[in-house]
Structure 1
Amino acid sequence: MTAASNTHPIGFPFKQRGLLLLFFAVAGLSIGLVLAVFGNLANARLAWGIATLPVLTALLLQTLNSLRRGDFGLDIVAALSMSFALWFGESLAADVVAVMYAGGQLLEEFASSRAAREMTALMGRVAGTAFRYKHGLLEEVPITEIAAGDRIMIRQGEVVPVDGTILSDRAVLDQSALTGEALPVDHHNGDEVLSGTTSIGPVFEIRALRPAADSTYAAVVRLVEKAQNSKAPMARLADRYGLAFLILTVFMACAAWFLSGDPRRALAVLVIATPCPLILAVPVAIMSGVSRCASIGCLVKDGGVLEALSRVRVAILDKTGTLTHGRARIVAIGNANWIEKDEILRFAASLDQASSHVMAAALITAAHERGLRLTPPDDVEEIAGSGLDGRVDGRRVVIGSGSFVKGRSSDGSPGACSESHRPGEVAVTVAIDGVIAGTIVLADPVRSEAITVLERMRRAGVGRIVLASGDRNDIASHVGNTLGIEQVLGELTPASKVEAVIAAKSFGPVMMVGDGVNDAPALAVADVGVALGARGTAASSEAAGVVLLVDRLDPLADAIVIARRAVGIARQSVIVGLSLSVAGMCAAAFGYLPPLQGALLQEVIDVAVILNALRALARPDDADIAAGGALD
């Protein structure tokens, strides 16, 4: 059976048409059985034959439509079995096949809908309008009119329509539909929020970062539509196998008829081959896997990517923003005995409000997180690459490199000013009124979940892990040693990252994980490119086949296990289903399985393989993760 389109050629929506056809087939079967019980076999056969005709007609129209598109599915076998059954007077068998075919169509539609539930839940969540401030007044406008820089009000229960920066003190968001996080997430002033998340706290305001069409949620919707319309290589392979199975079925039916002289044996062979678990199991299992990945915040763009993900043997990971958070954080503050550490940070962050440097943003964020009150600086002078000099609360403050601050200070305290020599750390020295007050040490720390994720990847079958970074070799090596990574490559350009991916392919299919523009070429050339879409760039998300919607690596390890499990289930269903079908066809060819029993047996096989394929929707347990390397 090939996957049905949503609309029948004569214009009926698929679900309504399927229900109507099933009703006719079941009604005719029931009426015929009642007539047969009362001994009216002639009219019973007539009822069964009439009930078969609507299903057969719809099937022929669908088959012709598929043939025009170049699709050769096993619907042809269903049409042949019903036609031959009517021709040889086996109207009861024909009606049973019609019931089973119509029911199978509905079962497949239900399975596909069930598998795509998490993905379709993403569609249509955002309302068509939003409340925007203009000239101090609120106006309700279509979200298509929202531009970058607009100030938007988000009420409790509303879905955030565009990506934005929080202007209010606090926002509480339900991100489960977008990222799979079960618990509400607290956000504060200055934090970036993603479109598609739902406000479950007090009213708050955001500053739009980009138009609705360019937002995270809109990109997710486009990716979902692409995934739903895609066809996996395994599904395309199933089509080719389906054609071979069709030829085998016709050959066995003709041979059984020719050798036995009994046309009913040929009919029985056709009946038990209608439809085929090969066509049913693959799309349901693959879509179930894609859907399950989406539910944990890992968006797989299409079924082909899911299959490639299941075969990954080498993982290459960028450092900054991937294995680390991609933003500096305070790891230590050294202070003189006359000033508190928080006071040093308050003065430094207040002065840094006049700078656009990445370190300045880190100090300001840290001050906000500690609840420190920042004041506007005055008379600020910024010396590029060295530091800042200005006034805060009437006091002269100098911050920057140790040599810069020492050159503008007259005194210091032992230990208050020291440069960091640990790889990956940067020291910012602070002086107040000409006296060195202390040193703030910043670093881009390794993600807390990174070690666990890498270990889970290894358990899932990834045999080789490589760190590829544009940072200095000593910094990259420090991170690699911390995480126990086998191979570390530092000081890479975008072109050399591509070369690293190509070289790694000699060890097996390669997955590249990154988040920046410089990672996009490597993501595109890898067998599977993975982008951190929550904070990554649009270029990396477009080049990647997998997008992580949450700013964590955990879903990626789960996605590998899910992919391997889904492909394994699809392959298992095909092998078992086809084996049972071929065994039944052989039994029918030798006269051990009449047409009616053959139809019933085949439907049992179809139901079994579909239910088995739906197992790919389940959450992987510890046994799946432990056996991940053997699932394929």
Structure 2
Amino acid sequence: MKFKIEHERAGRMRIHVMQTRMSYAQADTLLYFLHSQKEVTFCKVYDRTADAVIEYVGARDTIIQLLKGFRYEKVEVPTGLLESSGREMDNLYQEKLIGKIVFHYARRWFLPYPLRLCYSTFKALRYIGKGLNSLRKGKIEVEVLDATAIGVSMLRNDINTAGSIMFMLGIGEILEDWTHKKSVDDLARTMSLNVGKVWMISGGQEVLVPSSDIKAGDQVVVHMGNVIPFDGTVCGGEAMVNQASLTGESVPVRKTEGSTAYAGSVVEEGELTILVKEVGGSSRFEKIVKMIEETEKLKSSMESKAEHLADKLAPYSLGATALTWLLTRNTTKALSILMVDFSCALKLAMPIAVLSAIREASLYNLTVKGGKFLEAVAEADTIVFDKTGTLTKAQPTVAKVVSFNDQDADELLRLAACLEEHFPHSMAKAVVDAAKKKQLEHEEMHSKVEYIVAHGIASKIDEKRVVIGSYHFVFEDEKCTIPEGKQEVFDALPKEYSHLYLAIDNQLAAVICIEDPLREEASAVVNSLKRAGLSKVVMMTGDSERTAAAIAKKVGVDEYYSEVLPEDKAHYVEKEKEAGRKVIMIGDGINDSPALSAADVGIAISDGAEIAREIADITVGVDDLYQIVTLKLLSDNLVKRIHKNYQVIVGFNTMLIVLGVAGVIPPTTSALLHNTSTLMIALKSMNNLLD
């Protein structure tokens, strides 16, 4: 790529690409390429001017060589990224906003009065029509106030005031629409599908391949707890599928042969083989946008209260206007009240504040699926942590494999990995990763695997039943036994590790010792959450009492529960809610999904099971628990901002009404100050909360 450096300082440069103007796709491709370089810490690409600002670490020459070697056509951009980038939408709204401002003042300064009168009358009819329509429905709402103010101004031949009111209302509509669309698109983008590898049927076997290799007509297998990666038709298996991220309904749907499967839905129970119909990335994005816009999921109760309050105030404003005119017979004073209605600011500032907070959360790799969840985090007083993969590191590792049937430990690890690779759990991933590190390759040598949530996996190899999982599952449910003469070895198993038990034909074959170290930040995060207002911090785990007690003491939780099942976690959350507490649940596995659904706010860790991420209301996109503290601060600051907005809107507009009725300021000044303050509050609400 040819470019020139326009300006630079240490660690930062602004370049101009030697082309007249970039297309939206080219700008997004360059942005993606720069973001993917480890040396680049920040970058922004301007398509109109073909400029780019790059902040970096390391040698200047490295960045220059990267830019020299860049070619648009050589960059493999993830499917759907260009279609859903939002760049075109931003440019469209910028042009709308600038065009409206320029046209308003050009019309006022250069258009002859008769033409301005005709134009203002034509524009006023739209607002008056909305007001009359509201009255026809038997409602006195904000549209009636707008119509009355504009209509009275036009009757008084004060087209400047009428024009100013309509101009500010138009600016508000553009800003609200822009912010809403941008926030919805940002949210939809973070919810969009990002599946790296899938199980494809090839030669009668399941083969793990990159999702980019799949084309229409291929067959893919989706195991329990995994997301369906492509639209298609079920050609084998049966499952209960959660389609909440697409339809908004949380009740799972039964899918059998011949059913339609949608990309982004999650298999809760069972297993499906899907004949791929479509591999395009934009369809999932479009479905999510539609779902968000058609539901009230984005709305917090604070937004709803603002809207209801705005509509409730409208009759009082209209009544006060009539009363003022009856008492003073002064149209100017009466009009001053209509020029200053609280509803405009309330209806504009509150949604913008919430949607901007959702956008800001995405900057910290927090995917928030609705404003009401930020509000719930701010109000929460109880937080429940799952242990494995949440308070402990998301990448547990295999420390050792202890053989109990005299087979080689590596062979037993190979067998365990063959079973575990089909299912999304941090412990399973540890086994699979350990086998890969030892280059223990294998072919599928078992029959169909069966996953028992929170217990383990069962299958058959050479007609022998093989199970792998927890102590409870292997020894109590499956009634497996320890081989004769091996009790001492079993009793001597290192207690500092979590244990995964492998049994063949009802006899213990191996114990896989897994190191599941506590996160370095766990204790500090728990302490910070308590200081932020959470009065009860709880840890729940399926692990043994011994392990749970040790972790709970180190972390500093208020309560802990060991050897719990998925339903136990959900029951605990329900019990706390019945006691009047607001509960946050944080987890990462399939077994956490019932509790995530039951909580006021369910938070999933990014490296966890796909079903947990889909069901959760908020997803933490980085492997760092401090993001939970960031989320709490963001939510608290949002509530503070909204309360402050209420105070400013009510206080300032009340002052304007008093000054107008007293005759201190004319209606035109009231309108100007009111609309300017509304715009300023709205713009301030778009500022980041954590700067």
Same fold, TM-score > 0.5, yes or no: yes
1:519 to 592, 610, 635: 592
- Aligned-partner Cα distance in 2 for 1:63–1:143: 54
Question: 1:613, CA displacement in angstroms?
Answer: 0.7
* 2:658 equivalent to 1:582: no
**Could you report, residue by residue, the CA deviation over 1:293-330 in whole angstroms, capped at 9, with x for unpaired residues?**
23433322222222112211110122234333577523
Does the aligned pair in 1 maintain the 2:190–2:367 contact within 8 Å? no
> In structure 2, what is the equivalent of residue 529 of structure 1?
602
Mark the CA change 1:109 to 1:383 in structure 2 (over 3 Å): closer, same or farther.
closer
Matches within 5 A, 1:269-348: 269-273=337-341, 276-325=344-393, 329-331=397-399, 346=410
1:56 to 124, 130, 135: 124
* 2:312 equivalent to 1:233: no
Q: How many pairs align?
A: 507
Does the aligned pair in 2 maintain the 1:162–1:217 contact within 8 Å? no
- Aligned-partner Cα distance in 1 for 2:517–2:281: 26
- Aligned-partner Cα distance in 2 for 1:527–1:139: 34
> In structure 1, what is the equivalent of residue 160 of structure 2?
92
TM-score scaled by length of structure 2: 0.61
> In structure 1, what is the equivalent of residue 530 of structure 2?
458
Match of 2:220, SS state, is coil
Does the aligned pair in 2 maintain the 1:77–1:274 contact within 8 Å? no
> In structure 1, what is the equivalent of residue 64 of structure 2?
none
- Aligned-partner Cα distance in 2 for 1:355–1:161: 22
* 2:187 equivalent to 1:119: yes
Does the aligned pair in 2 maintain the 1:86–1:94 contact within 8 Å? yes
Q: Which amino acid aligns with 1:30?
A: W
Question: 1:619, CA displacement in angstroms?
Answer: 6.3
- Aligned-partner Cα distance in 1 for 2:492–2:629: 38
- Aligned-partner Cα distance in 2 for 1:347–1:221: 47
**Could you report, residue by residue, the CA deviation over 1:421-447 in whole angstroms, capped at 9, with x for unpaired residues?**
526533889xxxxxxxx9974233334
- Aligned-partner Cα distance in 1 for 2:606–2:519: 16
- Aligned-partner Cα distance in 1 for 2:128–2:444: 79
Does the aligned pair in 2 maintain the 1:331–1:443 contact within 8 Å? yes
Question: 1:606, CA displacement in angstroms?
Answer: 1.2
> In structure 2, what is the equivalent of residue 498 of structure 1?
570
Matches within 5 A, 1:48-447: 48-63=116-131, 73-113=141-181, 115-116=183-184, 118-119=186-187, 121-122=189-190, 145=217, 147-149=219-221, 225-229=290-294, 230=296, 231-273=299-341, 276-325=344-393, 329-331=397-399, 346=410, 349-350=413-414, 352=416, 362-369=430-437, 384=466, 404=483, 419-420=492-493, 422=495, 425-426=498-499, 441-447=513-519
Does the aligned pair in 2 maintain the 1:333–1:441 contact within 8 Å? yes
Mark the CA change 1:563 to 1:354 in structure 2 (over 3 Å): closer, same or farther.
closer
Cα RMSD of the aligned pairs, angstroms, is 5.0
> In structure 2, what is the equivalent of residue 30 of structure 1?
109
> In structure 2, what is the equivalent of residue 567 of structure 1?
639
* Runs (5+) with no aligned partner, structure 2: 1-91, 204-209, 223-227, 232-262, 265-272, 446-460, 470-479, 503-509
> In structure 1, what is the equivalent of residue 540 of structure 2?
468
Does the aligned pair in 2 maintain the 1:63–1:75 contact within 8 Å? yes
Mark the CA change 1:468 to 1:66 in structure 2 (over 3 Å): closer, same or farther.
farther
2:618 to 546, 551, 555: 546
Question: 1:56, CA displacement in angstroms?
Answer: 1.7
Does the aligned pair in 2 maintain the 1:266–1:589 contact within 8 Å? yes
Question: 1:560, CA displacement in angstroms?
Answer: 2.1
- Aligned-partner Cα distance in 1 for 2:570–2:419: 35
- Aligned-partner Cα distance in 2 for 1:518–1:217: 31
2:550 to 470, 478, 498: 478
Match of 1:148, SS state, is strand
Match of 1:496, SS state, is helix
Question: 1:60, CA displacement in angstroms?
Answer: 3.5
- Aligned-partner Cα distance in 2 for 1:564–1:59: 37
> In structure 1, what is the equivalent of residue 690 of structure 2?
620
Q: Which amino acid aligns with 1:497?
A: K
> In structure 2, what is the equivalent of residue 183 of structure 1?
none
Q: Which amino acid aligns with 1:305?
A: F
- Aligned-partner Cα distance in 2 for 1:534–1:486: 26
TM-score scaled by length of structure 1: 0.66
Does the aligned pair in 1 maintain the 2:400–2:513 contact within 8 Å? yes
Does the aligned pair in 2 maintain the 1:354–1:380 contact within 8 Å? no
- Aligned-partner Cα distance in 2 for 1:211–1:326: 32
Q: Which amino acid aligns with 2:690?
A: P
Question: 1:510, CA displacement in angstroms?
Answer: 1.1
**Could you report, residue by residue, the CA deviation over 1:400-437 in whole angstroms, capped at 9, with x for unpaired residues?**
x99649669xxxxxx999723526533889xxxxxxxx
Question: 1:461, CA displacement in angstroms?
Answer: 2.3
Question: 1:520, CA displacement in angstroms?
Answer: 3.3
Match of 1:276, SS state, is helix
- Aligned-partner Cα distance in 2 for 1:69–1:522: 44
- Aligned-partner Cα distance in 2 for 1:215–1:316: 38
- Aligned-partner Cα distance in 1 for 2:557–2:345: 43
Larger radius of gyration: 1
Match of 1:54, SS state, is helix
Identity among equivalent pairs (%):
21
Question: 1:550, CA displacement in angstroms?
Answer: 4.8
* Runs (5+) with no aligned partner, structure 1: 1-12, 36-43, 151-159, 164-194, 197-207, 336-343, 388-400, 409-414, 430-437, 622-632
Does the aligned pair in 2 maintain the 1:465–1:485 contact within 8 Å? yes
Mark the CA change 1:214 to 1:355 in structure 2 (over 3 Å): closer, same or farther.
same
Does the aligned pair in 2 maintain the 1:477–1:488 contact within 8 Å? yes
Mark the CA change 1:22 to 1:54 in structure 2 (over 3 Å): closer, same or farther.
farther
